[in-house]
């Protein structure tokens, strides 16, 4: 694996690879890898020739008062994980490499899809994400880019940006990876104390309660929201931020449930802001829920006490 720190070096490597007829796979991350990141790298490894992972804690997607400075980092461990998967290039630029003139004056804003859900609580967050992802797409060039369905709104926003701007990138959405007890893997799980870590899977259980309600025939969004709210309220350590039911394709709010939609939640648990979701498809045969996949080998991000 080659460590790359400059935009020019990365651009040259990707251009050279394509000139040789190779395909390029890009996995954008903020580092501190867990099995969710690893699954994206494995997918890119299986589907493309030159696998590039970017590891950049992007300051422009953190609002004032968020955890930019505290965001966990472990580059040695990250390198070992990426190397084991067979990643070809680890791109770890300095902030000054990505933003030599300070905050960029040109930004990418995806309207509508960024309204509500995480966009409501994190002003400017998605502009930071789409701007840095657009920069990465510009540097890497034509590629397949891998994003997790855990950040469902982010995935929908990036897909829309690519469509609207005709960027030469195929966006691939990968399954949400969970701990064996259902907690969605997140670098921020490292913030959880032991009691918070024990309580956190209640967020996933609340989504399962909504799926049970769907299986029983419920077809209105308001009662699903109610079921999730009540389930989360049973666990006092979880401070629910939102529960929303949105159409998958454009994240429009829906009340009558049909086609494909997402039930998405966010909650504050101690210092950690956790998100989770379940994607559901309703057709004539009933409701089919995508609950993601569970890691087979137990928790990979232990809570701290
Ligand atoms: P992050 O480093 O948190 O910015 O995440 C980098 C990429 O990994 C994003 O595309 C995320 O959606 C994805 N990701 C993070 N956690 C998970 C997870 N539990 N399952 C699947 N993908 C994930």
Per-residue pLDDT tens over the stretch 144-182: 999 999 999 999 999 999 999 999 999 999 999 999 999
Phi/psi for 235 (5° steps) reads: -115, 95
Q: Show the tokens assigned to 143.
A: 């590629």
What is the per-residue pLDDT for 301?
39
What is the per-residue pLDDT for 296?
76
What is the per-residue pLDDT for 303?
33
Q: Which of 37, 109, 125, 204 is catalytic?
A: 37
What is the 3-class SS of the chain, one letter each residue? Answer: CEEECCHHHHHHHHHHHHHCCCCEEEEEECCCCCHHHHHHHHHHHHHCCEEEEEECCCHHHCCCCCCCCCCCCCHHHHHHHHHHHCCCEEECCCHHHHCCCCCCCCCCCCCCCCCCCHHHHCCCHHHHHHHHHHHHHHHHCCEEEEEECCCHHHHHHHHHHHHHHCCCEEEEEECCEECCCCCECCHHHHHCEHHHHHHCCHHHHHHHHHHHHHHCCCCEHHHHHHHHHHHHHCCCCEEEEEEEEEECCCCCECCECCEEEEEEEEEEECCEEEEEEEEEEEECCEEEEECCEECCCCCCCCCEC
The β-bridge relationship of strands 143-148 and 89-91 is unpaired
What is the per-residue pLDDT for 106?
98
Whole-angstrom Cα Rg for the chain: 19
The β-bridge relationship of strands 24-29 and 50-55 is parallel
What is the per-residue pLDDT for 79?
98
Phi/psi for 153 (5° steps) reads: -65, -45
Q: Is 177 in the pocket of ligand 1 (CB under 6 A)?
A: yes
Contact 190, 32 (CB under 8 A): yes
What is the per-residue pLDDT for 22?
98
Give the dihedral sign, CA 167/170/149/48.
Answer: negative
Arithmetic mean of pLDDT, 6-34: 98
Q: Given a cut of 90, is residue 305 above it in pLDDT?
A: no
Closest approach atom of ligand 1 to CA 31: 2
Q: Is 62 in the pocket of ligand 1 (CB under 6 A)?
A: no
What is the per-residue pLDDT for 263?
98
Q: Is 184 in the pocket of ligand 1 (CB under 6 A)?
A: yes
- Could you tell me the distance, in angstroms and rounded to a whole number, from the CA of residue 36 to the centre of ligand 1? 6
Question: Distance between CA 276 and CA 36 in Å, rounded?
Answer: 13
Mean pLDDT, the chain, as a whole number? 96
pLDDT (tens digit per residue) in 100-153:
999 999 999 999 999 999 999 999 999 999 999 999 999 999 999 999 999 999
- Could you tell me the distance, in angstroms and rounded to a whole number, from the CA of residue 76 to the centre of ligand 1? 19
Ligand 1 atom 13 nearest Cα: 148
Active site residue 37: yes
Q: Is 301 in the pocket of ligand 1 (CB under 6 A)?
A: no
Arithmetic mean of pLDDT, 227-252: 97
Calculate what percentage of the chain has a pLDDT beyond 90: 96
Q: Show the tokens assigned to 264.
A: 């998405």
Arithmetic mean of pLDDT, 183-209: 98
């Amino acid at each position: 694996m080659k460590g790359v720190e400059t935009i020019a070096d990365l651009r040259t490597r990707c251009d050279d690879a394509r000139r040789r007829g190779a395909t390029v796979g890009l996995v954008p991350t903020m580092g501190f890898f867990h099995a969710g990141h690893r699954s994206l790298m494995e997918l890119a490894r299986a589907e493309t020739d030159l696998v590039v992972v970017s590891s950049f804690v992007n300051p422009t997607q953190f609002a004032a008062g968020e955890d930019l400075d505290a965001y966990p980092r472990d580059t040695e461990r990250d390198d070992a994980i990426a190397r084991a998967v067979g990643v070809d290039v680890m791109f770890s630029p300095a902030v000054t490499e990505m933003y030599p003139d300070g905050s960029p004056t040109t930004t990418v804003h995806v309207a509508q899809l960024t309204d509500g859900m995480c966009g409501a609580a994190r002003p400017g967050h998605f502009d930071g994400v789409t701007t840095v992802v657009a920069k990465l797409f510009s540097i890497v060039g034509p590629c397949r880019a891998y994003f997790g369905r855990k950040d469902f709104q982010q995935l929908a926003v990036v897909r829309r940006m690519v469509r609207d701007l005709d960027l030469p990138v195929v966006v691939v959405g990968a399954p949400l990876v969970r701990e064996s007890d259902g907690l969605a893997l997140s670098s921020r799980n490292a913030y959880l104390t032991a009691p918070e870590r024990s309580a956190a899977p209640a967020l996933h259980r609340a989504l399962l309660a909504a799926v049970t309600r769907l299986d029983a025939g419920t077809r209105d969004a308001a009662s699903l929201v109610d079921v999730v709210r009540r389930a989360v309220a049973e666990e006092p350590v979880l401070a629910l931020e939102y529960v929303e039911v949105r159409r998958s394709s454009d994240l429009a709010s829906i009340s009558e449930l049909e086609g494909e939609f997402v039930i998405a939640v966010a909650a504050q648990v101690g210092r950690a802001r956790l998100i989770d979701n379940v994607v559901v498809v309703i057709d004539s045969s009933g409701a089919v829920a995508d609950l993601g996949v569970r890691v087979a080998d137990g928790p990979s991000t232990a809570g701290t006490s």
